[in-house]
Amino acid sequence: MAFDALFQPVSIGTLTLPNRIIMSSMSTRMAKTGGGMTDRLIEHYCRRARGGASLITVELADVHPLMPHLRQTLWLHNDAAVEAMRPLTDAIHENGARASIQIGVFFRPVMAGLCQYTASLKSPEAQPHAQELTAVELDRLGDVIAMGCLRAKRAGYDAVELHGVHGSIMEEFLSPFWNRRTDGYGGTREKRMRFPLEVLEKTRRLTGDDFPIIFRICGSEFHPEGTTVEDAVAFARAAEERGLNALSLSGGIGHIDHLAISASYEKRGMLLPASRAVKENCRIPVIVANALTPQMACDAVAGGDADIIALGRPLLADPDWPRKMKEGRMEEIRPCIRCNQGCMGGLRDASLPHIFCLTNPQMGRLMQDTPPAAEHPLNIVVVGGGPAGCEFAHTAAVRGHHVTLLEKENRLGGQFRTASVPPGKADFRALSDYFEVVLPRAGVDVRLNTEAGLQMLRNMQADVVVVATGSDPVLPSVPGMELPHVCLAVDVLKGRVVPEGTVAVLGGGATGLETAHLLAEQGHAVTVVDMLQEFGRDIVAHVGVREKLLHLLEEAGVKFMPRRRVKSVTASGVELDERPLFGGGNVELLPADSVVVAMGQRPAVALFRELEASGIRCLAVGDCARPGNALAAIHAAYDLALSL
């Protein structure tokens, strides 16, 4: 078998796991507001258990009513919470996996407004109203965390994971960046380790010698003042002496750099050197996470970088990741593209019910593993092989419909393939590649290089035509748009046009900024112009994507001109009207050799209208129904495929 290394048994203390793939802890916001179990949350974890992960690490549970880290979170506050937890542990076991839960305390808020205490007020990132924990409070806090672990054991968990990363209070103590104390809990590495080690000792005492305890710490905070690999090694040795059973490594510094849940702009596998170093210096198993492709995961275990792989987002995107690897079907794994849109976006955005996944619309739904078979299989023609057309075709075919997909280009993916061209977005290509593999295997008749028209569709006599023709770029009606040095951003990304000299990019949304990024990397002097103050407002914020891109653009020397309206394009540049809201201010000329337009999309509905007018049953989905993004397109396509 190609991926044998992942499917060897491994022991964490008294717990023996049949394979080396575990699910890492991920808050879902699927618990009840104010704490409590839901069917959705149970199903979420059971689905991942059925997919073959040997150990499911349930998301961080709060252990004290005054220390919530999220509004929708699990509780292990008291004995009643233990009973409420039982259905989850039982269900994970019944579905074939062992269960662990993450325990710890977060005073740095995931959602604003909950912060109360800190390791050190001298930290540059200390919350303004926080109080520094006293030695007495630390002793009590350690008891509270250890008691939470004991309740986890009573609730049927096979192990606990102590949370010492991502801005939790134990990371604050471990880190020289956060911990600027000069008492017995700070100042030297040994003193910084003291509180987390005390928590470990208390937990061991309460839970007994046989109960597996995992500790999650940073392999490195990747910050000049943060923890290093040497800190991780020192902690591993000290913790091992105190009875720790496995060390799990994450990385990055709290909520500052977003490296812990790295977006597509970051290098993959950044924690592997740290896990190798820790592994070489201790006997307990080392668990590693963060942006591992299936091949990297296998190589990491086979090559001795780690003993166990913790998968986070890849199991949101495809709960069957372990099973497919075992069966040698790696190319059928629905990829996580590190967009952080649905998962981290859902965690941060309180207006959304819970986390989602861009590539996996089934995630978070209460339904069977495969969509229900269609009662009356139909002959369906899908026009357009972008994310919407592909997702629709796949789900409809899995349900038993006879599906033909027509795509005018020579590859599947639509605009989403173009979206993978700018620097830092190569991961996005994996979704289009995945569709190219699974559509034919699901029985979809994929016809590339085939532009659908009314007559062709009439001849095909489908029961229903699903129009997923996407959207077209808008060319604004200002003078000069017809000039030869004006082009569309998508044409630049597709390599159809090569701008020359200095470039003005009109439009500061995702497409404009990402095209500017590509051009700046190619050596052009680039200025991005927008009507609004804020650039990249259609890009997910505070999850290492929008801010990262803006930072990279600044680094690459891209200039920004907000609050400007394009008056006209001339042979020598772009005439801009400043502050149009106030009746037009100064008109200024932005000199440019080339002008690249990225001023929005409009639905490509011409074919849909023709079909409607001719009486052919048709349905529109994706950008063609409503220009948005791939997440919206894929989820709408999935809903539509379930409805037929």
Q: Which residues bind ligand SF4 (CB under 6 A)?
A: 313, 316-317, 336-343, 357-359
Is 343 a binding residue for ligand FMN by CB under 6 A? The answer is yes
Is 15 a binding residue for ligand FAD by CB under 6 A? The answer is no
Residue 145 C-beta: closest distance to ligand FMN, Å: 14
Candidate ranges 221-229, 312-320, 559-567, 628-636; the one touching ligand FAD (CB under 6 A): 628-636
| Closer residue to ligand FMN (CB): 261 or 337 | 261
> Is 336 within 8 Å of 308 (Cβ atoms)?
no
The only residue of 25, 102, 469, 527 in contact with ligand FAD, by rule CB under 6 A: 469
> Is 176 within 8 Å of 227 (Cβ atoms)?
yes
Is 362 a binding residue for ligand FMN by CB under 6 A? The answer is no
Nearest to 398 by CA among 371, 422, 426, 369: 371
Residue 84 C-beta: closest distance to ligand FMN, Å: 19
Candidate ranges 48-56, 147-155, 311-319, 386-394; the one touching ligand FAD (CB under 6 A): 386-394
CA distances from 390 to 229, 355, 394, 510, 555 (A): 43, 23, 6, 23, 37
The only residue of 223, 313, 334, 425 in contact with ligand FMN, by rule CB under 6 A: 313
Four-residue CA torsion sign, 294, 296, 298, 300: negative
Phi, psi of 12 (to 5 degrees): -115, 100
Helices 135-154, 79-94: crossing angle, 10 deg rounding: 50
Is 335 a binding residue for ligand FAD by CB under 6 A? The answer is no
| Closer residue to ligand FMN (CB): 344 or 620 | 344
Nearest to 567 by CA among 482, 505, 476: 476
Q: Which two tokens stand for residue 593?
A: 């050799």
> Is 102 within 8 Å of 59 (Cβ atoms)?
yes
The only residue of 37, 55, 58, 60 in contact with ligand FMN, by rule CB under 6 A: 60
Query: Exposed/middle/buried for 65, CB within 10 Å: 0-12, 13-18, 19+?
Result: exposed
Residue 36 C-beta: closest distance to ligand FMN, Å: 17
| Closer residue to ligand SF4 (CB): 123 or 341 | 341
The only residue of 19, 25, 245, 264 in contact with ligand FMN, by rule CB under 6 A: 25
Residue 634 C-beta: closest distance to ligand SF4, Å: 10
| Closer residue to ligand FAD (CB): 152 or 550 | 550
Is 387 a binding residue for ligand FAD by CB under 6 A? The answer is yes
> Is 28 within 8 Å of 44 (Cβ atoms)?
yes
Q: What is the arrangement of strands in the sheet containing 573-578, beginning at the earlier edge strand? A: 564-570, 573-578, 587-591
Query: Exposed/middle/buried for 378, CB within 10 Å: 0-12, 13-18, 19+?
Result: middle
Q: What is the arrangement of strands in the sheet containing 486-488, beginning at the earlier edge strand? A: 486-488, 594-597, 503-506, 526-529, 559-561
Residue 335 C-beta: closest distance to ligand SF4, Å: 7
Is 24 a binding residue for ligand FAD by CB under 6 A? The answer is no
Is 166 a binding residue for ligand FMN by CB under 6 A? The answer is yes
Site for ligand FAD (CB under 6 A): how many residues?
39
CA distances from 57 to 23, 128, 238, 453, 505 (A): 6, 33, 24, 51, 46
Is 427 a binding residue for ligand FAD by CB under 6 A? The answer is no
Indicate which of ligand FMN, ligand FAD, ligand SF4, none lies near residue 342 (CB less than 5 to 8 Å, by partner kind). Answer: ligand SF4
Candidate ranges 12-20, 186-194, 286-294, 468-476; the one touching ligand FMN (CB under 6 A): 286-294
Which string of b and e fits 315-349 if b means at least 16 CB within 10 Å?
bbbbbbbbbbbbeeebebbbbbbbbbbbbbbbbbb
Q: Which two tokens stand for residue 53?
A: 């992960």
| Closer residue to ligand FAD (CB): 588 or 610 | 610
Binding-site ranges for ligand FAD (CB under 6 A): 339, 341, 383-389, 406-409, 414-416, 418-419, 451-452, 468-471, 490, 493, 510-511, 514, 604, 607, 622-624, 628-631, 633
Binding-site ranges for ligand FMN (CB under 6 A): 24-27, 59-60, 102, 163, 165-166, 216, 250, 260-261, 289-291, 311-314, 343-344, 347, 355
